[in-house]
């Protein structure tokens, strides 16, 4: 039986990485029957936010880095040294076959230099699109990354940004099964949705401008924006909506624990990000038959959406083209049905079973 260790900072707060760790650990333990242990550094005695199978072991080392301070502060350096010894001791005692670093934690930088027989992998959930590989700091990071057996990246485009030759492409999976239940998108209300955190990289000011123009000739449509409200960027967008007198057609819906259900009530999902890595919300929308219109921003949507087949890609930051595509979508029921049907087929390529099979073949059985 293969022994797999997954290293994380915590599993006590909602997040895409945390959810994926739980999904993968449960699958590997219950379907592949592997011995799976998750080791955290900062659980703080809080309950697990996602349910784990009783076949998955969870261990918290209680390193508890002081996140408000620099990692080079005396306290955090001492915690880091302790963390290294704890992991080394665990490796020597348990002798795992595979160690996977799933989140951005300090041990990332030292794991390749520990004594071990295990194969080690590091997952990357962010884009290296704008990273300059010629700087000294990045050269050091590139050297450390080259010492891993594999770097797990989310798309071929992302793989091309890595200097070392050990990058392996494994996308994130859709957890829910895609079921064709005769869904007809044309019958849905005229609602567009946007989902994500309120952050400047999402360029929601552009979405507001798009909706301002679109709603002039399409006042029967509404835009629902989902995401945790309250931060400064949210307040900026809220004020922009008020300034443009769009309160009746742009609604802030807050965070939802049933986001796929909310998306399934709409006709289209919109994205106006400046940059993305591998936006899972596109697949979540596709899995319930909702296509996506997105700016063709670097590295993200273009790796999932097939233009005019299962969604629409718009020239990056071209607001007028985005508005025109929305108008085209609204006026063509055949286009709506085609994109909806094809989006479900697109999501099937990222089913949990298929993606877990890739993990097994490319990582766990690669050197059998």
> What number is the average pLDDT over the span 41-66?
95
Q: Is residue 180 part of a domain?
A: no
Q: What is the CATH number of the domain that holds 122?
A: 3.40.50.2000
Spatial contact of 352 and 23, defined as CB atoms under 8 Å apart:
yes
178 domain-assigned: no
Judged against a pLDDT cut of 90, whether residue 59 lies above it is answered with: yes
pLDDT at residue 132 greater than cutoff 80: no
Q: Are residues 150 and 190 in the same domain?
A: no
Whole-structure pTM value: 0.88
User: Are 194 and 248 in the same domain?
Assistant: yes
Q: Are 65 and 150 in the same domain?
A: yes
| pLDDT at residue 56 in the model | 98
Q: Alpha-carbon distance 59 to 81, whole Å? A: 18
Look at residue 129 and tell me whether its pLDDT is greater than 90. Answer: no
Closest Cα partner for 202 from 130, 270, 275? 275
Give 127's pLDDT tier (boundaries 50, 70, 90): confident
What is the pLDDT, as a whole number, of residue 368? 67
Q: Say what the pLDDT of residue 367 is.
A: 67
Minimum mean pLDDT range among 54-63, 223-232, 310-319: 223-232
Pairing between β-strand 268-271 and β-strand 167-169 as defined by DSSP bridges: unpaired
Question: How far is Cα 196 from Cα 186, in angstroms, rounded to an integer?
Answer: 25
**Which among 149, 147, 151, 144 has a CA at the least distance from the CA of 170?**
151
Beta bridge partners of 6: 38, 100
Tell me if 217 is assigned to some domain: yes
Residue 227, sorted as left (phi over 0), alpha (psi -120 to 50) or beta, turns out to be left
Same domain (yes/no): 344, 360? no
* Tens-place pLDDT, residues 291-307: 999 999 988 899 999 99
- Same domain assignment for residues 86 and 206: no
Residue 74 has pLDDT above 70, yes or no: yes
- 162 lies in a domain? yes
- 363 pLDDT more than 80: yes
The pLDDT score that the predictor gives to residue 99 is 98
Domain count, the chain: 2
Identify whether 224 is part of a domain: yes
Cβ atoms of 83 and 63 within 8 Å: the answer is yes
- CA 166, CA 147: separation in Å to the nearest integer? 9
Residues 125 and 254 in one domain: no
Give the residue among 172, 181, 122, 180 at the shortest CA–CA distance from 352: 172
Residues 78 and 131 occupy one common structural domain: yes
pLDDT at 183: 86
Q: Which residues pair with 292 in a beta bridge?
A: 269
pLDDT of residue 137 exceeding 90: no
Tell me whether strands 98-101 and 56-60 are parallel, antiparallel or unpaired. unpaired
Q: Mean pLDDT of all residues in the chain? A: 94
Tell me the residue range of the domain where 167 lies.
3-173+351-364
């Amino acid at each position: 039986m293969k022994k797999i260790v997954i290293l994380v900072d915590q599993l006590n707060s909602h997040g895409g990485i945390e959810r994926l760790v739980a999904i993968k650990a449960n699958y590997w333990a219950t379907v592949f029957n592997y011995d799976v242990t998750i080791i955290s550094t900062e659980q703080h005695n809080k309950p697990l936010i996602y349910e784990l199978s009783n076949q998955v072991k969870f261990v918290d080392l209680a390193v508890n880095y002081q996140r408000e301070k620099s990692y080079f502060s005396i306290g955090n350096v001492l915690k880091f040294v302790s963390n290294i010894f704890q992991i080394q001791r665990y490796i020597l005692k348990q002798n795992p076959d595979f160690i996977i670093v799933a989140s951005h934690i300090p041990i990332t930088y030292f794991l390749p230099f520990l004594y071990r027989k295990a194969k080690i992998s590091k997952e990357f959930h962010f884009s290296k699109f704008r990273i300059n590989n010629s700087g000294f700091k990045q050269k050091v990071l590139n050297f450390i990354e080259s010492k891993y057996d594999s770097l797990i990246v989310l798309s071929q485009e992302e793989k091309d940004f890595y200097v070392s030759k050990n990058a392996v492409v494994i996308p994130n999976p859709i957890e829910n099964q895609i079921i064709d239940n005769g869904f007809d998108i044309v019958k849905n209300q005229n609602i567009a949705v946007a989902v994500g955190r309120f952050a400047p990289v999402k360029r929601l000011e552009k979405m507001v401008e798009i909706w301002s123009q679109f709603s002039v000739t399409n006042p029967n449509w509404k835009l629902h924006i989902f995401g945790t409200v309250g931060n400064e960027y949210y307040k900026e967008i809220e004020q922009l909506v008020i300034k443009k007198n769009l309160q009746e057609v742009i609604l802030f819906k807050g965070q939802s624990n049933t986001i796929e259900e909310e998306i399934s009530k709409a006709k289209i999902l919109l994205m106006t990000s400046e940059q993305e890595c591998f936006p899972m919300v596109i697949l979540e929308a596709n899995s319930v038959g909702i296509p996506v219109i997105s700016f063709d921003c670097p590295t993200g949507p273009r790796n999932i959406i097939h233009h005019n087949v299962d969604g629409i890609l718009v020239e990056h930051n071209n607001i007028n083209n985005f508005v025109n595509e929305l108008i085209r979508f609204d006026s063509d029921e055949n286009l709506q049905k085609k994109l909806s049907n094809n989006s479900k087929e697109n999501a099937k390529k990222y089913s949990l079973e298929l993606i877990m099979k890739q993990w097994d073949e490319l990582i766990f059985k690669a050197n059998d």
